[in-house]
Amino acid sequence: MSETSSTAPSDALNRLKIRRGNQQRPPSAIGRLFRFVVVLVVLFGMIGGAVIYGQSKGWIANWDRLLESVQPKQEVRISIVSVETGRQADASVVATGFIESRQQARIGARATGRIESVHVEEGAKVKLGDTLAVLEHADLDASLSAVEATAARARSELQEQEVEIQRTKRDLDRAEKSYANKTMTMAEYDTARFQHDAAVARKDSLEAAIRLAEARVLEAKQLRENMFVRAPFAGTVISKDAEVGESIMPGGMGEASGRGSVVTIADLDHLEVDCDVKEDFISRVKADQEVEIAVDAVPDRRYRGKVRKVIPMGDRARATVKVKVEILDSDENLFPDMSSTVYFLSAKAPEAEVNQKPRIFCSNEGIRSEGDATFAWTLTDDERLKKVAIKTGEKKEDRTEILEGLSGGEKVVVSEPKEFREGLLVKTAQ
């Protein structure tokens, strides 16, 4: 018992001794966390500095391009270098344009109303007279029923009057016999005759009333028919312009006045190209002239066509004349507003003489010369100018064959050069 009590105070005194020399207190949890945070800060600082340094080096290297990107860009007009084969390469005139339907219309109602139902969607084929949409017309149905009932009543009254005429006719016949036998006075005879004449006259009045009632029936039917939007010709629905519940009115020009049309339909079986031919070459274009048509959306096919009409009116600002070209073998790949190129062909040559080798052609406006060098300014994918040396061949009215330097599909600048230089950033005119 005494031994235990003597050692306890010494152990307590040992725990109270001050640590010196290499004796250190174990690090606390807060200290360890603080060291971990410091290491992370230093690490992220090193990574951020490296990124900023690398970006600054890139900015310095591309400083000229950065300045160029904020400066106004020159606007240039371009032409696409074409690849032509067969008779197309020997075309006398080439023009660009857009496909359109010869018959296309926005179809609306002949009366104001709210759309009750729409029976077609985009792409639907419709025939002449098909119902495209129906406007609400319950009130017109009631009006039609009322005038039909009026007409039926008038016809029933006419039938009653026919019976009345027969009765008065018999009375008149008996009166004539009695008057002839001196058994009836003149006054009684006149009464029978006047009753018959009045019955006949009333028949004429009832017949007129029937005609009036039937006319009102026709009027009510027409007003009701005006609530049905029908196809004025066979074609394809290319645009749905209104939905159920919207108001529509003839000549509507937007939400304020109501929709002007329900759908737009076009006759896609009869397509043509609306193109502009330069005045210098319009003399080479004749009605019914054979043409070939290249459509950008269908690059692997050439369509046959002929000149349908040369519009007798020039465009003073553009120095062009509009020409309508009918497509003779259109298919399901062609739609209105597709861009196309029309090759107006010369007299047909024998198949053996037609050169089927692909030939490269460039617009004459895109070919430039400087001394003995011939070149063209082309656009790269990032809209920068590139000077390309070329070798030219046969020259036609508005284009020249390219023998070397271009392969087809390049964008060639056709506008007048203004301080052009290699790598200059420009923008394409719309």
- Where do we find the tokens 């990032």? 382
What Rg, from alpha-carbon coordinates, does the chain have? 47
For the entire predicted model, the pTM comes to 0.57
CA–CA gap between residue 218 and residue 210 (Å, rounded): 12
pLDDT tens digits for 254-266? 444 456 789 999 9
**Structural contact between residues 248 and 262, judged by C-beta atoms closer than 8 angstroms:** yes
Where in the chain are the domains? Answer: 74-80+357-428, 92-102+270-345, 105-133+229-266, 138-225
Q: Which of 399, 413, 408 is nearest to 83 (CA)?
A: 408
User: For strand 339-344 and strand 290-295, is the pairing parallel, antiparallel, or unpaired?
Assistant: antiparallel
**Structural contact between residues 321 and 369, judged by C-beta atoms closer than 8 angstroms:** no
Range list of β-strands (E), 102-258 = 104-107, 113-118, 125-126, 131-135, 228-230, 235-240, 247-248
198 to each of 204, 210, 278, how far by Cα in Å? 10, 18, 82
pLDDT at 353: 47
What CATH code would you report for 74-80+357-428? 2.40.420.20
Q: What angle do CA 270, 305, 85 make, to 5 degrees?
A: 140
**Structural contact between residues 293 and 98, judged by C-beta atoms closer than 8 angstroms:** no
CA–CA gap between residue 385 and residue 430 (Å, rounded): 17
CA–CA gap between residue 207 and residue 157 (Å, rounded): 9
Give me the CATH topology for the region 92-102+270-345.
Answer: Elongation Factor Tu (Ef-tu); domain 3 (2.40.30)
Q: Which of 146, 149, 147 is nearest to 217 (CA)?
A: 147
Q: Encoding tokens for residue 316? A: 């003073």
pLDDT at 222: 92
pLDDT tens digits for 304-340? 999 999 999 988 888 889 999 999 998 888 988 899 9
Contacts of 219 (CB under 8 A, 6+ apart): 147
User: For strand 78-80 and strand 411-413, is the pairing parallel, antiparallel, or unpaired?
Assistant: antiparallel
CA–CA gap between residue 362 and residue 408 (Å, rounded): 9
Helices (H), 181-226: 186-225
pLDDT at 111: 86
Give me the CATH topology for the region 105-133+229-266.
Answer: OB fold (Dihydrolipoamide Acetyltransferase, E2P) (2.40.50)
pLDDT in tens for each of the 430 residues of the chain?
A: 444 444 455 555 555 555 555 555 555 667 677 777 777 777 777 776 655 655 555 544 455 555 555 567 788 888 888 877 766 666 778 888 999 998 888 888 888 889 999 999 998 999 999 999 999 988 988 999 999 999 999 889 888 888 888 888 888 888 888 888 888 888 888 888 888 888 888 888 888 899 999 999 999 999 999 999 999 999 999 889 888 988 888 765 544 445 678 999 999 889 999 999 988 888 889 899 999 898 988 888 889 999 999 999 988 888 889 999 999 998 888 988 899 989 888 766 444 445 567 888 888 888 888 888 899 989 888 888 888 999 888 777 677 888 888 888 888 988 877 778 888 888 887 5
pLDDT at 54: 54
pLDDT at 217: 93
**Structural contact between residues 229 and 108, judged by C-beta atoms closer than 8 angstroms:** yes
